[in-house]
Amino acid sequence: MAVSYRPVKASPALKWINKNKAGFLFILPALIMYAIFFISPFITSIYYSLTNWNGVDPVKQFVGLKNYINLFKDSLLGLSLSHNVIWVIVGTVAPILIGLPLAVLLSNIKRGRLFFQTSYFLPYVLSGVVVGMIWGWIYNPLFGLLNYILKGIGLGALSRGWLGDPNLALYAVIAAAVWGYFGFCVVIFLAGLQNVDVDLVEAARIDGANALQQFFYVIIPQLRHVLNMVLVYTLIGGFNVFDIVQIMTVGGPANHTELIGTYTYKISFQQSNVGYGTTLSMVMTILSLVASYFYIVLRERQDEVGQ
């Protein structure tokens, strides 16, 4: 008797894999790199945050959630987080308030636009270390340019050691960071303005809308996606600031410019408490993830409204 064999039907999942085999091969190198340089260090960081380790000893003492419990007892963490919140608010609002009007003005300039655009963007090309050094010289109480200008215009009473004043140091560093960042916002907004419907702006002008009304009711709604991108990018950066503060104040005076990034560095490398330092870095990661999540939700809602 002849035996008949029925071909085995491939499962839907297997069919989908076979159909997209070429795509998987293309993304495989990037996926491997992502796993090596992002996923693996992230998992390792989670493990380190559950240990008591000084970064040198071969033995890592497992302490479970002790480091996370200590977060709630750490008053300096609360102070650092409050400074990060101030940085996020001021450091997010200021570049947008400066960059967006400048971008609108530049979009109406026919000649010389490239010069101004390059001039504004140039500080962003510099590293945070260079920006910090430049503004450290500007704020210098003895030969700094800022005090020199104040004295030259008759406002010498306002001159002071800007980075040594506990009430002004944080805002002085934020001002330096805004100077180094707002040019990025200008360039991004200029790119977004290329997609603004000129006919809508012209129709609003014909209907009697003044320049401010055209700006707030016609231009800004069409830039909502660009605004969201800049907003979240700046928010995430505000929770991960380190280099410019480390160069200008090292968290001083008396911890008045201490941020989570600089505090994490001190705990990990100056006090050799890598376990707790890694726990602090996980706080930074969580804050960044929360900001990214709200950005995605906000963008999806705006897409639904736009449809």
Same domain, residue pair 166 and 17: no
DSSP the chain: -PPP-PPPPPPHHHHHHHHTHHHHHHHHHHHHHHIIIIIHHHHHHHHHTTEE--SS-S--EE-TTHHHHHHTT-HHHHHHHHHHHHHHHHHHHHHHHHHHHHHHHHHT-SSSHHHHHHHHHHHHHS-HHHHHHHHHHHT-TTT-HHHHHHHHTT-GGG---GGG-TTTHHHHHHHHHHHHHHHHHHHHHHHHHTTS-HHHHHHHHHTT--HHHHIIIIIHHHTHHHHHHHHHHHHHHHHS--HHHHHHTTT-STTTT--HHHHHHIIIIIS--HHHHHHHHHHHHHHHHHHHHHHHHHHHHHHHHH-
pLDDT value of position 9: 62
**The domain spanning residue 111 has which CATH number?**
1.10.3720.10
161 part of a folded domain: yes
Q: What's the total number of domains in the chain?
A: 2
Query: What pLDDT is attached to residue 51?
Result: 93
The domain of 44 spans 12-62
Same domain, 18 and 119: no
Task: Determine contact, residues 274/54, Cβ cutoff 8 Å.
Answer: yes
Instruction: Verify that 171 and 278 share a domain, yes or no.
Output: yes
Residues 46 and 140 in one domain: no
**235 within a domain of the structure (yes/no):** yes
Would you state the pLDDT for residue 239? 85
Assess whether 87 and 232 both reside in one domain. yes
186 and 218 in a common domain? yes
Residue 264 lies in a domain: yes
3 occurs within a structural domain? no
**The pLDDT value given to residue 90:** 94
One domain for residues 88 and 133: yes
Q: Quick one: 49 and 195 in the same domain?
A: no
Residues 86 and 157 in one domain: yes
Is 6 within the bounds of a domain?
no
- pTM of the predicted model, to two decimals? 0.86
pLDDT tens sequence for the chain (307 residues): 555 555 556 577 777 777 778 888 888 899 999 999 989 999 999 999 999 998 888 888 999 999 999 999 999 999 999 999 999 999 989 999 999 999 989 988 878 888 888 899 999 999 989 999 999 999 998 889 999 999 999 888 888 899 999 999 999 999 999 999 999 999 999 999 988 888 888 898 888 888 888 888 888 888 888 888 888 888 888 888 999 999 999 999 999 999 999 999 999 999 999 999 999 999 988 888 887 787 778 777 766 665 5
Q: Are residues 46 and 94 in the same domain?
A: no
Domain assignment present for residue 4? The answer is no
* Domain assignment present for 1: no
My answer on whether omega of the bond before 253 falls inside 30° of 0, hence cis, is yes
Bridge partner list, 34: none
CB neighbour list of residue 284: distance below 8 Å, 6 or more residues apart: 239, 240, 260, 261, 264
In the listed set 21, 43, 62, which residue is the last one of a domain according to the structure? 62
Same domain, 58 and 83: no
Q: Do 133 and 116 fall into the same domain?
A: yes
Task: Answer whether residue 7 is part of any domain.
Answer: no
